[in-house]
Chain A
């Protein structure tokens, strides 16, 4: 059972130590394992990665780091803005664009250390249009930062099948997935 009184850092550190090495071989990460080998340092809840020969070097990913998610969010917003600038375009994408802009506002709040306000924005984004995956991923991260990672699982699950094929993104999502599935220092992999 999830124990909300256990400090997040302890849970994350201990569980990551055990979890990430063993877990990458689990269901849903087979392709990742083929590409990367992953080692864990438990101190500041960070993940060091070395790459296999098949891919370029990837940066270190820490829990809570969603730099690729953020990049893809900006790219998507830029794309929709370009579309909406064209003649007759953008009308159908506007709910999506508005939704993503709420996500971007939420992301800023998250980065500013206000997960509660950020979650408000992510929920607003979902309410306007839940078609893009970013709102669900960020909502999961907000729950994690609120110290209730279990609440984030279902949001992360909702993003499944919507994310693009992207190695860096996969790794960030995998780290987030493991963070929200950590229970009592061990990991439950579904």
Chain B
């Protein structure tokens, strides 16, 4: 053999040897590197998973709720307001006896003892500190639809009162617009778990995160059908995708998803994975907000907690997971029903449902509750609440901590207020076409409070929130016109005698043009249409809203004490002390006006306006609770004197249009119109409800209508609707006030010789003693003529 041949042989023998060594080495290095990389990858995934599972898994937006509604004998339930209260809470009218929560029917029993009845299957709910039970109640009604007795259908026992649940008004979301309520695996009903597993991942308890058998089956089905019919993803994979990945359909995403699922199954138990899945799963849209988790979906679609779901409803939810919006029982009930039946058949085939249960579930209607309106009728109020809360709860906390914020808002009254304001403004534009021709839009605001507690029950900050979010109730400071006059009268009549002169309601004053000199300047108040009445009483000056007479009283009392009194009552401390404020030439917001009138309505006490009652965290703990805050501002007697005058405004004065429009219950109020006719107001109250309405343009241009024409009709319609279902209440007369029948022309005690008699309120000891027609020469303070 030649050396060359030998060499070739060595080389041939040697090469494979080297290659082998190299190959083995490379493999070893590769395996090592792969192991390191794989290990790093595993550790990375594991850390990510642990962080997600152990830490904050989701942001829970806080939710704002209205107040609950108390129902008791004396309330009218057969009217539009109560029916709208039921509808907004998802109650459904039935022609048969209610058998499920959330159903009701009105019954007219014919015969000799005919009687109306409302049968109401109450929905249960939790309010901070208490739980209202779901139960069938029987409400006996009188001929006007008022409740005369409430009893339990179960045992016939009398029920003194019950509550309708608060209505969700708004969610305080962050960037992620999702709503969910978390539940533990123990809270999920077994049939629901079985339904989900059977439909979505039958081998969930057998595979280790990725189900190769399921994947092959899905591929086969897809190949046969020529389209993607089955995903083949396990619940664990779906959860990984939802937690960490996107919806993109790429191989790399699928591989990452599978890797994560494998790691997750090593790290966490099946039940932990399942619990996360049922809380994470997307189940449709609530307007612009995603519905996530089974609890949220059960409440949204069926108005129930998961444990209360029927078999049919369970199957509907389980069936929706595949395509929540396509199978949405709200949007596509037929599809949802079809899909539900498919799920029920699967459950029968797996033995989870016997034939009887299957037939029964198949016969069920979908049983959905109507979706709550996605537009927020209380958007200005929501902003107000958000601002009120911000002192204690930063925006990001509200967007993530899932607080339940229970407010004072009466959802029914809020909707009524929105409607009434909108209708009222539209009618004005129709009746006075120049209002609609203006380049600006006629605006309005309405705020209503319970004067005893300060609870804000309705707030409409403008005509359309979508156009402008400016809340005129809070920030719309405008001249008040005659709405301010009761403050002048209070300073003049009040027992505190804050001014330099004291008046009685029957005191006579001259109504004629005059000039008020002050600080080297002069001011000449003028009457509406420059009409003067000569001698009038204090009462007449207010009832007919006479400027000159009121200004004359203000001059005698002193503008300083009037200004101080206004601030005490709730006006901005920046209120200056110049004569024109007596006629409302200073700007106040509707809420400030409400504060002032609230003192009159609440026996001289100021109840701080309140919007948030309680804030509860996700564990049900009250983290903030607001209480009724009262403050004595003026004596009850003084408040009553003004209330009594304002009752006269409703009966005989500028507010009597409300009476003509059918608002008959005891009420007190005052119109307000600014000199330039830019602003129209009405502020008025019953013992139960105080409402202030403002109408005008944002740019302070000419409306040309008085408060009686522009604002009072809106006030009247609101009050009529809001109070229609409640028993009327009278104003309490304080012990220090006496009601005396007098002759209004002389201010003397009435006798048989008087041609006209009215009842006047006086502080005890101040009423007239002389009778009319008995003495000619009078020396009473009430007869002093200014």
Interface string of A159-175 (1 = CB under 8 A from B): 00110000000000000
* Minimum Cβ distance to chain A for residue B26 (Å): 75
Number of A-B contacts (CB under 8 A): 83
Indicate if the CB atoms of B74 and A95 lie closer than 8 Å. Answer: yes
Q: Report the separation of the CA atoms of residues A164 and B630 in the bound assembly, to the nearest whole angstrom.
A: 23
Task: For B161, list chain A residues within 8 Å (CB).
Answer: 98, 101-102
On whether A162 and B732 interact (CB within 8 A), knowing A97-B74, A101-B72, A126-B453, the answer reads: yes
Any B CB within 8 A of the CB of A12? no
Query: Which residues 562-608 of B sit at the A interface, judged by CB distance below 8 A?
Result: 603, 605
Any A CB within 8 A of the CB of B213? no
Task: For A117, list chain B residues within 8 Å (CB).
Answer: 129-130
Any B CB within 8 A of the CB of A131? yes
Query: Which residues 135-168 of A sit at the B interface, judged by CB distance below 8 A?
Result: 139, 151, 154-155, 157-158, 161-162
Q: For the complex, count residues of A whose C-beta is within 8 A of B.
A: 31
Task: For B728, list chain A residues within 8 Å (CB).
Answer: 92
Task: For B450, list chain A residues within 8 Å (CB).
Answer: 127
Q: For the complex, count residues of B whose C-beta is within 8 A of A.
A: 35
Interface string of B19-38 (1 = CB under 8 A from A): 00000000000000000000
Which chain B residue lies CB-closest to A127? B453
Task: For B605, list chain A residues within 8 Å (CB).
Answer: 154, 158
Q: Report the separation of the CA atoms of residues A117 and B625 in the bound assembly, to the nearest whole angstrom.
A: 11
Any A CB within 8 A of the CB of B98? no
On whether A94 and B73 interact (CB within 8 A), knowing A123-B453, A126-B453, A155-B630, the answer reads: yes
Q: Report the separation of the CA atoms of residues A129 and B688 in the bound assembly, to the nearest whole angstrom.
A: 7
Which chain A residue lies CB-closest to B158? A81
Indicate if the CB atoms of B74 and A154 lie closer than 8 Å. Answer: no
Indicate if the CB atoms of A101 and B160 lie closer than 8 Å. Answer: yes
Indicate if the CB atoms of B73 and A97 lie closer than 8 Å. Answer: yes
Q: Report the separation of the CA atoms of residues A129 and B452 in the bound assembly, to the nearest whole angstrom.
A: 9
Indicate if the CB atoms of A95 and B455 lie closer than 8 Å. Answer: no
Q: Report the separation of the CA atoms of residues A92 and B666 in the bound assembly, to the nearest whole angstrom.
A: 13
Indicate if the CB atoms of B732 and A84 lie closer than 8 Å. Answer: no
Task: For A151, list chain B residues within 8 Å (CB).
Answer: 627
Query: Which residues 315-357 of B sit at the A interface, judged by CB distance below 8 A?
Result: none
A131, A154, A161: the one contacting B632 at CB < 8 Å is A154
Any B CB within 8 A of the CB of A185? no
Q: Report the separation of the CA atoms of residues A187 and B603 in the bound assembly, to the nearest whole angstrom.
A: 26
Indicate if the CB atoms of B74 and A98 lie closer than 8 Å. Answer: yes
Q: Report the separation of the CA atoms of residues A101 and B627 in the bound assembly, to the nearest whole angstrom.
A: 20
Which chain B residue lies CB-closest to A139? B628
* Minimum Cβ distance to chain B for residue A70 (Å): 17
Indicate if the CB atoms of B452 and A120 lie closer than 8 Å. Answer: no
Which chain B residue lies CB-closest to A77? B160
Task: For A119, list chain B residues within 8 Å (CB).
Answer: 627
Any B CB within 8 A of the CB of A184? no
Please give me the 8 A-B residue pairs with the lowest Cβ-Cβ distance, nearest first. Answer: A94-B74, A98-B72, A161-B735, A101-B160, A154-B630, A130-B452, A95-B727, A94-B73
* Beyond known contacts A91-B74, A130-B452: 16 more, CB 8 A cutoff: A92-B729, A93-B74, A95-B72, A95-B688, A95-B727, A98-B73, A102-B70, A102-B161, A123-B627, A127-B455, A128-B72, A131-B687, A131-B732, A157-B632, A161-B734, A162-B732
Q: Which of B's residues lie within 8 Å of A, judged by CB?
A: 70, 72-75, 129-130, 142, 146, 148, 160-161, 450, 452-453, 455, 603, 605, 625, 627-628, 630-632, 636, 687-688, 726-729, 732, 734-736
